[in-house]
Every structure is written in structure tokens, then in C-alpha cells.
Chains A and B, each alone.
Chain A
């Protein structure tokens, strides 16, 4: 078996107590096998079910015993039929003995891959472990399990047990469960064995490692405390997103008769001087440019190479700080894990000392890392302790990337305490919220935590593989609905809320929300489409209260203020026209009085009108009025009034002030130049 190939035996409990959850087991196993077909198609898989009426396995034939264990499929490379085996698992009739099954599985692995052969050998057991195991012929069960476990460790066989415990009905004996759990635990301490307890179909799907990824170190080298003190570490990815397989593009252009058509699609990039030209630039005729404001700055690769930032590979400790200084939301990326080099005992101890002390004192370490030579940047990150609870697992650190100064956008937000009282909860509401938060508890105790990320599968991936399988049978298969099991991560647990109806009702009753009636449909859309943040006016410090401007008439007392208030009204565009018309009338009245006092007021009004027209971009209204006024004054020889035109610089509104104007700057200036001689005459 090649180094990177896996031999796996699935041991599936199909006894009567398992019947309810077998559909989910089928799903989980299908997914595993489907992924193997895509990613690890040289992996070899055997399938064993136990709790069956019949018996069919080599050990039973050779030495007897091992009843109710049936080998559905011997270990061989995955093929298109493999999924069929797990799609329709037989429903067993007797309570299965998982120890028997384990021995059968182990025997299969050993026979298949002699101990000398290196490779990855794995047993995967799915059971509810609620049925008693048989007593061995000699010794105790504990002895037997220890012997099996040691054999497994010697053979390099890994074991993974998934124990499905939903609500166990009354006819199961507690001691059986305790005993079985104890036995499974015994495996863990003697072999590479892991037991996961799951309580929902969702966690069952999630607990099953369906994709095998060969772990690769990101970095091997020194964690440098200072130049003289270095710890040997390896860095791996702890978290990396599993994506959909990369789907290839497919061309259907080849004629159906062409048997050798590859149906591949190639992506071509053409670099052209302009979109129209057909001339294509060769690689050496192009140069990379970087934006710097409106300019694009060309930099040749050589220039870039000589000038760019070139840090040395390594991990350097900057120091330690209180864990509370690093808020959780500053973690920027997926997470790495820093483990001591397994061959360096001193490094294992050094990491252990630091990790344990960090945990003890609530400290974290800040480090600066360059993972590879030639990497053009550095990362600053935080090491947090990962102290192992198992004796055989070394202590390690988690590594999270922290942001640089450039990565932070500090926008101020209003303090909650300073928001208007009507926006804040009162005491009663707060009590209701407290109750709600306490009630909707997903982790009443450490053991009972539900929706653990570690046991939650990705619904999209699940759905893709399901669809893929359907499509492989029939090309136009319909998209399957999302699996029921995923309801648990997409909606609140209905049981929890129906059990606490009074709390839920209190919550709904105390926190009434309603759509803002002031927002009409159209304006809502407008706000949505508005790309920038200016729509957050409610929270802005500068707010204009339209209610202040309820003036709808220009009175005699304070015409300018009235005009400004009217023109500022934003509830209806008509106010602007109204204001301008009324102001015009007002000015005409004042001008006609022809007293110095009234004239001064008229001028002020005129200035206000001009300003208003500039603001509202209504230049024509003003310009026509000014011309009219000028004619009028000339007719009636109101020279006193006209003189002030010059001193107050009342001109036509030119284009530069309002785009709609058809008066040029010069014309606007000329307006009163023309008048002066006239006034003098």
C-alpha cells in the first residue's frame, strides 16, 4: 500500500436499537465514500455490519464464534458500486457485539496488509454501544480489550468510534452503557483511538471525518525567544476551509461523433493596447503598474525584486501580554497550530512549560512570523496555550493572525448609554431578555453542549455530494432539498422554545418592533441602493429637525428668516417656488416704498433671495427677477436703490455658481458695470 493510501474498515451496528438512525449512518457513510471516489480513489474500503441475523466472516468460518457479524464488502479499492453498499444497509434483528465486530475488522486489516507494510489503517465503528458484550473465554473484558488495543497499536491501526446516544429508552441497562463506555475508553489509552459521543443526526454527520487530508507543515524551524534560546517547532493549519471540489469547465462544442474529444476549455488572456486593436502584446512588452492615486506607477519585476521587503524566515517572540488585551474578534484568519518538533524532547518540554504557565497566568505570547524564505511579508500573531488533557499528546499553541494598523478601520459609534431613553430597554424588558438568554441555553453543562463547531457539518457540501450522486444516475435529477438534519443549525430548537413558551411570549410582548412607517417603499429602495454610509442619519450627531421649519408664509416682521426657513423645508419641493415668489413680491413692495430704510431691507431681502436661488439652483428665477427689477428702477428712477447694487455686489447668478444659468461670469460682472453710468446720468 502506498504511503498515502488508506485502508479503512467500516464497522456499522445495524441492530434493532439502531434502526432509527441508520438512514443517517447511511448518509454519513455515503458521503465518506463519495469523497474517496473524488479525492482518494486509491483508498481501499471494507464494510462490516453487526447485529445481523446471519453470520458471514472469515473468523467465524476459521475458528467459530463471531456470530451476527456480516462482511458486506471485503477490503478493496473504492469503485462506483461502493456507495450502493452503504446506501441500503440491512436492518439487523439481534443486538450486536461491537467487540466481535472490532476483532473481525482488525483481522481483515491484518490479513490484507501484513504488518510490514506501511500505510494508514483505520477502523471506524458506529454504534450506540448500548448492548452488552459477551464475556471472553478467559480473563476479564478489560484484559481482552487491552490485548486488542495493544495489537492495534502494534499494527498501526487507528480506531475511531462514534457512539450515537439520542434518548435511550428505559429497557437499556445503565451498567451496560457504563461498562461499554469504560471499554471504549480503554481503547483510547492503549491505541490511537478516539471516541466521539453524538446526540443528533447532525452531529453524527459532523463527527465523521469524511475527507482525508494529508497534513503538511507550513513551517519547520525555530521559535526564537532570543538569538540564544530557540525552540524547535512545526506549524500546521488547524483550520482550513473545505471547499467544493474544483469543477472543470466543460465544452460541448465537439461533435457527438468525436470519440476522442476532451471537452476541455482553455482560458486565454490577450493583452491589447486598446479594446479595438487586434495587436496582442508579448509578455516582455508589458510591465506591471500599481495604482497611486490617479496615477499608475510602472515597476519592473527587477526593481520590485531589489526594492521589496524581504524578511528572513523565522518565528520570533516579541513578548507576553495579558490574554484580555487580545480581544477575540481581532483574530484575522483561519487558525494554525504550533507543535513542538516530536523528535526534540527538550523542545516538547519547553513548549509544555510555556503553554502551561501561560494558561495558569492567563497570558498569551505575541510572535512575529515569516513562514517561508522569500515570503514578501510578515505576520504578527498571538500564541494561545493548548494544554493537552491526554498524557500521550504534547502541549502546543494555537496561532492566530492579528491585524496591522492598516487593517483597522476605526469608526466611532454612539455609546448605548447616550442613546435616547426610548431606544433603551427598561428594567422589565431587561429582565425578560436575561431570562431569554438563560433559557435558550445550548450548553447546560460541558458534556451537553450542542451545536459544537467540531461536530457540525457543512450543509452545502453535504448537499453537493448528494446531488452529485443523484445526477450520476440521472443527468436531469432535481436538486434535493436540504437534509432535515440541518434544520438544527438553521433554526432554533422548537422543543426548547415550546417548553418555555411563557418566556418566549414575554420576549415578543416586551420587545415590540414595527416597520418604520415613515419609510415609503420607494425611499426604502433608495436607501438600500445608496452605497455610502450617509444614510445613517438617525445616528449622526448633526441632525436637522424638519419640524422646526414649519413656516409657510413670508411675514412682514422677519422676511429673511421666514424665507430661509421656507426654502429649507424639505417636505415638499413646492415650498421653494412658493418662497421665491413670495420673496419677490415682498421685495417689490419694499422697493416701491422708496425710503432709505425700506430700501436697505429690500437689499437684504434681495441678497437672501440670491443666496437662496444659488442654493436651490434656481438661477433663472433670480436673474429674470433682477433684470425686471433693474428695468423697473430705471423706469421709476429709483437711483438710491440701484447705487447699492454695486456696493453689495448683487449680480446675476453666473454659470459658475449655478450650472443651469445661461449667464457667463463676465456677463454677470458686466451687469452692474453697465448700470453705473446709467445711475450717474
Chain B
């Protein structure tokens, strides 16, 4: 995370792919959350997870609150606006009735989310009735049409930014499936027509409208009554549209989370199936480690960002060097020089295509054949018509025959052999769990693998193996410790959660940091169930026997540490050295003995180590 010179100049890390993904992330999205605040939204309730009654309005608001938090963390360049309709009060540039654009000071109506917005929006439930109020805004006689007005306001908000560089979206939360249902036929027709036209106009401007409907406990939201036309679904897409409309808060949050993340093209890939047959694929980074944002250095007195300048200085002359700078490799008593151009030519050994080499049974793909997160491939007929058909055919054959494809992918540095594993679609009640397509798995080269097994072999000496009884006990243990309904990525990253909790607390000037739970710890309650304890005890007994519970150990290691500490303390008076500024005279190894002895990190350059020791002594 720290701006580490080594890191900045690491030779091989110029992975164009990761850069590519980052660049994509930088693209902007403009989002308007349009929330129906009609009395019907406030009064209809449904059961929450913990059996509490929650109003639809509450569900919508909590979803958005959560979405805002993830926005500010993951995609803080996006601009968002929150807009209620069917309100008593009005607040919008167009001065339309029953539409209220929620905002906080120092922020444009549509702008990047701020800590203040999140905080105030969090409190909206309490203040809503008093300050904004709910009122049905579709009144037949006055021809008032709050839905129309809301769409108008949203569209006006989204006028900001060019549609070429940004995605513009409206998320519409409502539980009214037939907004003009109670009207006279003629008025209804008229209102329906104008509203639909309004929506179409917005869509023509490149704004997509997404509906997040809430169903009544006893009556499903009927999308065919009105909204299918508004969001422009045709009949066969209707079935696809939300197999089950979420009733529970969790479902809704899930829905929103999935949809807020617009599908982003990661990379266009040409897949060469054989000579004379190439199709077009899109690669998506569906799994990438989330990391706390980059560090910005600030002036500690003003808290303003400071400018970091990097310069290359020739140590012989002190002259400032201009990039690109030649590189050398000492070899055979001489320095062999390479220009950056030569190096980039050297690394470029293929066109960036993905070339199919053949197929193997899935058993050939070992658990240790992995380098980095996979890339998801989905076909596209956009430029090459027929791509999807060929892809689906291969996909089906591979699934049916239990084979994966081996291919060579030139789009990474270095180019790699990859395994393409066909993935069938997996669906659950909540929607799609695994999309259909292929996952591209980056395979290591021979030199990337280490033969640790061999290191641990003693030739001619048979290693002890488990007996049948021990295997039985292990089996019993495994049955007891079965994780029910385990899904990958069910855990939140505790370090990341903590980090953001800290940021939020400091940004909002809160007194206490919100408690975060480490979900990755073993389930203590479950582990302490008598049956589980018994199974573990029996397994332990079968392995270790009666006499001793474990082979005692950790002795030597502790001793090593103590010995190391002894050397450190014995040889040098670190405090004295620190005072006189002589720490720099010690070697890195010597510095590390102190760090190890004091349980400190030994990572970093000498300077860093010295600073760490100084900080430690300073305490």
C-alpha cells in the first residue's frame, strides 16, 4: 500500500490486464435512486429476517443506504442522486409537485456520495414524515402525475455528463404495479401514454430504467399491468425478469447489489478455435481481490493532498535522468544493457489472441495449477456474427464430455497457457448464482512450480500412514464438522470491514468506531456441541493415543527466538545506538534480530527497519 520505490519499478508487474481492469473501473456511472414514497409504500409491511415488520419504504431506504456505502468504497467516482416521489413537499429544479430530491450541504443534487450524505440518509426514516411527508401524487382530477414528474426530474438530473463516457441509470423502487389503475379509462390511457413516452425519451437519451418492485405479502407485483412497457420488456423477456420478486430485505439488497454493478466489459478477446475459425469473446473480471484504496499523502498541518514527485538521479554526476532509462543485467563480468524498447519486444511473443490448443479431461487440471484470479468469458456477436453459436456448441460439448480446453493466451505478461473450464448456469431463488460461460484459469509454467513434496521425502524410508481405524475416526470427524450450505465468499473480509469502519468514523467525526464482526472465526458454539467435541476427541485419541495429548514442541522455536533476542540485546545496546543515530551502521541482519526479538515486522528496506526500531524504542 505504501508508495514503495521497488513496487513502482517492479520489472514484471506491468500487467496490461490489471491496468486494463482498473481503467474500466474508472469509467463513471450516474445513478438516480427514485423511491416511491406513497402512503402505500409506508404502510405496507412484510416480515424481515428476524420476524420484525418492515415497511416497503424502509426496505427500499435500507437497500439504498447499504448500496451507498459500497458505492463510496468501491466506486466513489460515480455520481448519485436520491429522489423521492409521491411526497408532500417538493424540492426540485423543475419545481414539480410531489417530487423531492434529497441532498446534503456542499453537494450538487447529483454528485459523488459523501460521508455526510450517507450519515444523513441513514437518519431519513425518522425525519421523513416530518420534513418530506408522504402523499399520493397521482391525482386524477388535477391531472397531476408524480411518476411522470419523477422521471422528468431524474432525467434532468442525468443530463449531467456525456452519455458516451458514462452509464446513466435510474433505479425505481415501488410497490404500486398499476399506478393509474383507479383512474377513468380516458385519463388512464392518457397518463399511461405520456408516462411511457417520458420513459422512452429518457431511454433514448441513453438512460436505462431499472425497476425494483416490492410485492405485497398476499399479492405479487404484476409487471404486466404497466411497468413492462415502461422498462421496455417484451414478452419472452418477462419470464426472465426476476423469477421471484424479492419480498425480503435481504433479497432486495442482493438484487440491488447485483444490478448496481453494471456489467462491464473487461476485455475483448479473439478466440482462435482453429485456422479459419475465430470468434469474439468478452472477458470479465468477476473475481478480483478488493483492497483498501490507494494512499494519498497529505500535509499533516493542512490535511491537503501533497504532490509526490519522482525523479531519477545519476549517482555519479547527480544529474536528473529522463525516462526511459536503460536497464542492465550483470552477466559474465560485464553489464549487458537493454533498452526498454528491447525489453518490451522481448516480452511480446504473441498477438494478444486466445488460441485453442486442445482438450483434456477435467482430472488433468490439478489443484496446484493456479496463478491468479480467473477471468470469465462470455461470447459476443457484436463484431463477429456467429461467435455465440460456436461458443455455445463448444461449451455444451465440454460440459457433456467432462473436458476443459487448453489454450494459449497472449493478453497477459508473460503470455500464459490457460485452462478454459466450461461453467453451466446455476440458478437459485435469488437469481443467477453462476453465469453460463467459461472460466479462464491461468496455469503456471514448469519453473513456477516447486517440488516441496520431494523435499519432504526420505528415500527408502516409508512414511507413517493412517490406519483404518484412524481413517474411520477422521471420517466421523468430517461428518460432524460438515459446513451446511457453504458457499464461497460468504465471509466479509474482516480487515477491509474494519478499515472502512475506521474511515467512516473519522470522516463523520463519530466517537466510536463501528464494531465489525470477524465472520471468519470458527463457529465456537457449533464446535462446542457435545457430539462435535466427542468426534474431535476420538480422532485425537486415535492419533495421539492415551499417554500424551500432543507431541510437545514449540520449545525449540521459542528458544531460537530467545537466542536471537539474546544476541541482539547482548551485542548491541539498541537504545544507545538509536540515541546516537548509529543504527545505520548495523547490517540489515543485525537490525532484524532486534525486530524479531521484539515481535516486529522485518519487512522493508534498511531505512524502514531503522524507523521501525526508532518508533518502537520511542514508545
Contact = CB atoms under 8 A, between A and B. Distances in A.
Nearest to B527: A226
B359 A441 contact: yes
B200 interface: yes
29 contacts: A34-B331, A244-B11, A246-B10, A266-B313, A268-B311, A281-B299, A285-B299, A289-B295, A289-B298, A292-B500, A299-B502, A309-B495, A327-B488, A334-B370, A334-B448, A335-B369, A356-B466, A366-B483, A372-B601, A378-B520, A396-B453, A407-B290, A415-B425, A440-B358, A452-B364, A460-B413, A513-B277, A533-B167, A534-B262
Interface in A345-393: 345-350, 352-354, 356-358, 360-361, 363, 366, 368, 372-374, 376-378, 380, 384, 386, 388, 390-393
A249 B349 contact: no
A511 interface: yes
Interface stretch (A103-111, A254-262, A618-626): A254-262
Interface string A223-265: 0011011101000111111111111111111100010011111
Interface in A85-107: none
B473 A353 contact: yes
Q: Which 10 A-B pairs have the closest CB atoms?
A: A353-B466, A329-B439, A247-B327, A433-B393, A513-B386, A377-B495, A413-B435, A80-B332, A319-B483, A442-B358
Given A253-B319, A273-B304, A299-B502, A332 B364 contact: no
- The winner among B277, B532, B533, B600 for most chain A CB atoms within 10 A is B277
B315 A348 contact: no
Interface string A160-202: 0000000000000000000000000000011111100000000
B355 A491 contact: yes
A292 B236 CA distance: 42
A402 B436 CA distance: 20
B99 interface: no
B474 to A, nearest CB: 4
A416 B425 contact: yes
B167 A532 contact: yes
A528 interface: yes
Interface stretch (A18-26, A68-76, A204-212, A582-590): A204-212
A47 B387 CA distance: 54
Contact of A232 (B12, B236, B448, B553): B553
Contact of B478 (A150, A290, A357): A357
B439 A328 contact: yes
B180 to A, nearest CB: 19
A552 to B, nearest CB: 18
A269 interface: yes
A376 B493 CA distance: 11
A502 interface: no
B459 A442 contact: no
Contacts of B522: 226, 316-319, 368
Interface in A561-586: 564, 568, 570
A640 interface: no
Best-surrounded residue of B233, B276, B447, B537 (most CB of chain A within 10 A): B447
A425 B396 contact: yes
B487 to A, nearest CB: 7
Interface string A571-612: 000000000000000000000000000000000000000010
A63 interface: no
Contacts of A467: 342, 346
Given A319-B481, A536-B382, A335 B374 contact: no
Contacts of B521: 316, 368
Interface string B1-33: 001010011111000000000011011110000
A454 interface: yes
Interface string B486-522: 1111111111101110111011000001000010111
Interface string B404-435: 00101000011101000101010000011011
A261 B542 CA distance: 68
A527 B452 CA distance: 48
B456 A442 contact: no
A8 interface: no
Interface stretch (B44-52, B281-289, B568-576, B577-585): B281-289
Contacts of A479: 342, 345-346
B235 interface: no
A267 B333 CA distance: 25
A530 B488 contact: no
Contacts of A540: 208
Interface residues of B, number: 250
A333 B279 contact: no
B462 interface: yes
A336 B360 CA distance: 24
Interface stretch (A125-133, A137-145, A541-549, A673-681): A541-549
Q: Chain A, interface size: which category? A: 35 or more
In terms of DSSP, what is the predominant structure of the interface of chain A? mixed
A475 to B, nearest CB: 7
B130 interface: no
Contact of A395 (B311, B330, B465, B527): B465
A220 B367 CA distance: 22
Q: Which interface residue of B327, B334, B357, B536 has the most chain A CB atoms within 10 A? A: B357
A314 to B, nearest CB: 11
B336 A328 contact: no
B317 interface: yes
Interface in B536-552: 536-537, 539-540, 542-544, 549-551
A269 B343 CA distance: 25
A254 B316 contact: yes
Given A239-B450, A247-B328, A541-B237, A437 B403 contact: yes
Interface stretch (A50-58, A514-522, A627-635): A514-522
Contacts of B421: 328-329
Nearest to B312: A265
A447 interface: no
B128 interface: no
Given A271-B308, A490-B350, A513-B386, 15 more contacts: A237-B450, A238-B450, A254-B317, A270-B311, A292-B503, A377-B496, A394-B456, A409-B288, A436-B397, A453-B369, A453-B417, A492-B357, A497-B275, A524-B383, A542-B203
Contact of A398 (B205, B367, B520, B540): B367
A411 B167 CA distance: 15
B277 A297 contact: no
Given A334-B370, A451-B358, A363 B478 contact: yes
Q: Which of B237, B408, B436, B478 has the most CB of A within 10 A?
A: B478
Given A246-B11, A249-B327, A542-B203, A206 B390 contact: no
Contact of B444 (A241, A271, A424, A443): A241
Interface string A266-290: 1111111111000001001111111
A374 B599 CA distance: 8
Interface in B162-183: 164-167
Given A286-B297, A392-B460, A437-B359, A213 B450 contact: yes
A409 B285 contact: yes
B300 A284 contact: yes
B278 interface: yes
B113 interface: yes
Interface stretch (B57-65, B81-89, B213-221, B263-271): B263-271
Nearest to B379: A423
Given A206-B445, A533-B262, A352 B465 contact: yes
A615 interface: yes
B509 to A, nearest CB: 11
A228 B306 contact: no
Contacts of A404: 289-290, 489, 491-493, 496
Given A411-B286, A454-B449, A538-B382, A490 B355 contact: yes
A153 B381 contact: no
Contacts of B448: 239-242, 334, 458
B523 interface: yes
Nearest to B360: A443
